[in-house]
Structure 1
Amino acid sequence: MRLSARALSGVTGAAWRAGVALRGQDVARWFPGHMAKGLKKMQSSLTRVDCVIEKIVQQLEEGEGLRNVIFTNCMTDENVRQVIPAVSQLIGSSHRYHRGENVDYCVMVAGIPNVGKSSLINSLRRQHLRKATALCPAGKATRVGGEPGITRAVTSRIQVSERPLVFLLDTPGVLAPRIESVETGLKLALCGALLDHLVGEETLADYLLHTLNEHRLLGYVQHYGLGGTCQDTGHLLKSVAVRLGKTRKVKALTGTGDVNVVQPNYAAAARDFLQAFRSGQLGPVMLDRDLLRGHPPAETEA
């Protein structure tokens, strides 16, 4: 993404904020009931599972000791056809114990919320079954969405392949009962793994703006047609609201009575800013650059 000369001139003399106020300590203790229930159900289902697929979205470094990693894109079905052969090879070379007499394979899909587990199942069905029925249009067997919590329970077995005969278990997204820090919680929320209202959309927008500026990822300047970079989140959200026509009417008390005043809708502007980031309209962004540089996230306050 290319910035205009006017935007770059604003970068040259910018004095970036030293930090951001980390609010939302409750995020670090968030473990909703459906997640705890789903985790217990997943544990009890392991006796009828041959293999577990962990769906993740992260940059993998060489030398981490990871094996059997397949990079897929479930939106375009890229490399998805490699999954079933890899699963078959793993199961065929392992002891199946009490499942040794079963001709079918049962695979569990696990991962954090909103990582794309249901999308992987639907992609596998498109690639290996190519079916479309009234109950399952275009081979889609599980609901998907852009927010966490779409899958709230361990589902029944879903067939994804005939030869070999493979069934998958879709599961709800699960996290550790306690997130290690508030900043980690903010990053998870920015990626859509946590519900926005747990932190606050404007708080997330503030953290996102600080992160983008800190790493000189200034795609938002061009995306919103700004005259330069912004250090104040309120100023940015006001500019976004005015540009997109996101306003609201509020009543103001005056000496002559109530008067309707039109104000920028900061919450709506924050939602648009977050959605632009999540949909890639602000360019590629890696939130964990500080970890790669050896700077751990701020600790959670007691």
Structure 2
Amino acid sequence: MTEKDNIKELPGIQWFPGHMRKAQRLIEENLKLVDVIIELLDARVPASSANPMLAEMIAGTPRLIALNKSDLADPAMTKAWLNYFHIQGIKAVAIDANKGKGMKQLMSEVEDLARPRTERFAKNGGRPRAARCMILGIPNVGKSSLINRLAGAAKTKTANMPGVTRAKQWIKIDKNLDLLDMPGILWPKFEDSSVGLKLAFTGAINDDIYDQEQVVGLLLEALLRDAPKRLIERFKLPEPLPQRGHELLELIGRKRGCLVKGGNVDIDKAQRIVMAEFRAGKLGHVTLDQVPTSSTEMDTNEKVTSAH
């Protein structure tokens, strides 16, 4: 994809409710208890799902980045992102918490990062103890699913609703690892409003925050540019395709039988179908963030859609 394919911005979106502030304080208060931070990112939006507040909050604590939902992302782009983090000197792995992909590598990396601290603790007269790890990430990025996978059972409640994990939880994985699950937090302001839009696409922000018809329309326009054949195949659409998102949404609604009295399209039902199928990966493997060209930071202004 090219720079001209940048996803359009959706202005005026901010979300930082009271429980987010409480979660931030909770994280800051408990950092001293852990040896390693797992920062869980969405592999479809590695830059957009990285909370810029965390860098300062966790400074000095070893960190492992885990790109979750890698099964939904473009594999080539995921590989490029892993290489980017490697160049930055940051440990990173790609995982699929739902299917268990990448768990062994993640555990190995956590143990390696924690070892200096656990060994120092033992040398200073403390009893040998398990590595202590905190999992951080924005809402709905898969923290609870990762813990359930590592623990081998549904140890913590999961739901497809941003912010379902509200209080801290210590979970013993095995004799070598204890996990501290923390609530997911977003940051107070999206400096680049396209970040908020991508987080709406992937479900990190509650759907009630946005005008869903507008969001789905913009998503369809992005896919129309990048992967029109996928839309045609998935929804059995005739060519040529409409070039405006709301017109394409109406066509999809008709093809899927989302009709109400009088033959009009039930737009709410149609947009729910499109969003659900995108988030489930039924519209293909899509990465919305391009690997930065900067060698120092992730520049959200250079994000485009990539599809596989």
User: Shorter-chain TM-score: what band?
Assistant: 0.7 to 0.9
Whole-angstrom CA distance in 2 between matches of 1:21 and 1:91: 41
Report Cα offsets for 1:253-295 as digits up to 9, x if no partner.
xxxxxxxx45311011011111111111111222224966999
User: Does structure 1 residue 237 correspond to structure 2 residue 237?
Assistant: no
**Which residue number corresponds to residue 80 of structure 1?**
103
Partner of 1:45: 30
Is structure 2 residue 191 aligned with structure 1 residue 190? no
Residues 1:104 and 2:130 are matched in the alignment: yes
In structure 2, the CA distance between the partners of 1:269 and 1:24, relative to structure 1 (3 Å rule), is farther
- Look up the match of 1:32: 17
TM-score scaled to structure 2, two decimals?
Answer: 0.73
For residue 88 of structure 2, what is the amino acid of its counterpart? G
Identity %: 28
What is the identity, as a one-letter code, of the residue corresponding to 2:171? I
Residue of 273, 296, 301 corresponding to 2:301: 296
* Change in 2 beyond 3 A, CA 1:93/1:204: same
Deviation at 1:52, TM superposition (A): 1.0
Report the count of equivalent residues.
254
Query: What is the TM-score of this pair, normalised by structure 1?
Result: 0.74
Distance, in Å, in 2 between the alignment partners of 1:20 and 1:176 is 21
Give the number of the structure whose alpha-carbon radius of gyration is greater: 1
Question: How do residues 1-302 of structure 1 correspond to structure 2 at under 5 angstroms?
Answer: 22-25=9-12, 27=13, 29-57=14-42, 58=46, 59=78, 60=81, 61-62=83-84, 64-94=87-117, 101=126, 103-126=129-152, 139-154=153-168, 156-162=169-175, 164=176, 166-228=177-239, 229-249=241-261, 261=262, 263-289=264-290, 296=301
Change in CA separation of 1:24 and 1:196 when aligned onto 2, cut-off 3 Å: farther
Q: Aligned equivalents of 1:108 and 1:51: distance in 2?
A: 6
1:188 Cα deviation after fit: 1.0
In 2, the alpha carbon distance for the partners of 1:223 and 1:292 equals: 33
Q: CA RMSD in A?
A: 2.9
Output the CA distance in 2 between the equivalents of 1:207 and 1:290.
Answer: 22
Which residue number in structure 2 is paired with residue 14 of structure 1?
A: none
Query: By how many angstroms is 1:83 displaced?
Result: 2.6
Partner SS, residue 296 of structure 1? helix
1:176-231 Cα distance to aligned partner (Å, 9 max, x none): 22111221110111011111221121111111112112224531111111102221
Deviations 1:119-146, CA, capped at 9 Å, x for gaps: 11111112xxxxxxxxxxxx11112222
**Contact preservation (8 Å) 1:144, 1:150:** yes
Q: Is the 8 A contact 2:202 2:279 kept in 1?
A: yes
Partner secondary structure for residue 218 of structure 1: helix
Partner of residue 3, structure 1: none
Q: Which runs of 5+ in 1 are unaligned?
A: 1-16, 127-138, 250-260
